[in-house]
Amino acid sequence: MIYLPLWLLLLIIFIILVPTLLTKLKRSQVGLDSTQPAFQQLTETCAIRNLPVETWRLAESLAMEERGEHLRIYDINHKKAPTLAQITLRLTDTNDDSNDSANIVDWVASGIKTENDQ
Confidence of residue 29 (pLDDT cuts 50, 70, 90): very high
Q: How many domains does the chain have?
A: 2
Residue 60 maps to a domain: yes
Q: From residue 59, how far is each of 40, 44, 55, 62, 71 by CA, in Å? A: 19, 19, 6, 5, 9
- Per the structure, the complete domain to which residue 51 belongs is given by 18-74
102 and 85 Cβ atoms separated by less than 8 Å: no
Co-location of 26 and 67 in the same domain: yes
Q: Of 14-18, 37-41, 60-64, give the lowest mean pLDDT range.
A: 14-18
Looking at residue 96, its pLDDT comes to 56
Specify the pTM: 0.42
Q: Give the pLDDT score at 63.
A: 93
Please tell me the least confidently modeled range out of 58-67, 69-78, 85-94, 96-105.
Answer: 96-105
Q: Does residue 5 form part of some domain?
A: no
